[in-house]
Amino acid sequence: MDRWRAQAIALLLELPGHFALLATAGDDPLGFGMGRVAADQAEVLTLAVRPSAQRGGVGRLLMQAITEEAAGRGATELFLEVAESNVAARCLYVSLGAIPAGRRRAYYPDGGDALVLRLPLIRPGAEGAG
Ligand SMILES: CC(C)(COP(=O)(O)OP(=O)(O)OC[C@H]1O[C@@H](n2cnc3c(N)ncnc32)[C@H](O)[C@@H]1OP(=O)(O)O)[C@@H](O)C(=O)NCCC(=O)NCCS
């Protein structure tokens, strides 16, 4: 999988519906997430926490911020793609309520499968409505 380059990220963020979130401790970057919304569907494009900051709740905070941002932009569901072998990310997504939505066989260069997960979102103000 190619690493995201700064220029590629800057170009992506100029496209409609794309957004990025940075988690910091003071000036120290701890983690980064990027997503996009198209109509009522959202997708996480990338999520990463510095190795030294992992297992400290930063990934969960970033995912909460991404879901809030996506819902605020009108999305009702968020799709996530994750390597089947990525136990940390899978556990994080499932703990947030993500459910299996598909499998991309031999998706990665090492032959591993990608799992597609779907996380229903609650629109701001919709909680308790009806
Ligand atoms: C996946 C990743 C973003 C998680 O970030 P994090 O800050 O370490 O996660 P948190 O500390 O917020 O943990 C949230 C939950 O994720 C799960 N989790 C995180 N790391 C885990 C691990 N090593 N093993 C199992 N579960 C793990 C747990 O369910 C955890 O909840 P808990 O602390 O109550 O047990 C981080 O491991 C990372 O950057 N990995 C490399 C990049 C990557 O794989 N990104 C995802 C691409 S799809």
pLDDT of res. 51: 98
d(CA 32, CA 41): 21
81 is catalytic: yes
Please state, as a whole number, how many other Cβ atoms lie within 10 Å of the Cβ of residue 62. 23
Q: Determine which one of 93, 107, 108, 127 is catalytic.
A: 93
108 is catalytic: no
pLDDT of res. 122: 82
d(CA 35, CA 85): 22
Ligand 1 close to Cβ of residue 82 (< 6 A): yes
d(CA 109, CA 123): 37
Q: Determine which one of 81, 84, 107, 108 is catalytic.
A: 81
Q: Which helix (H) or strand (E) holds 69?
A: helix 58-72
The SS3 of residue 46 is: strand
Domain boundaries, the chain: 6-120
CA dihedral 41, 114, 119, 14 (to 10 degrees): -40
pLDDT tens-place values along the chain, 130 residues long: 456 788 888 999 999 999 999 999 999 999 999 999 999 999 999 999 999 999 999 999 999 999 999 999 999 999 999 999 999 999 999 999 999 999 999 999 999 999 999 999 987 777 655 4
CATH, domain range 6-120: 3.40.630.30
d(CA 125, CA 109): 43
Cα 129 to averaged position of ligand 1 atoms, centre (Å): 32
Ligand 1 close to Cβ of residue 95 (< 6 A): yes
Ligand 1 close to Cβ of residue 126 (< 6 A): no
d(CA 31, CA 110): 26
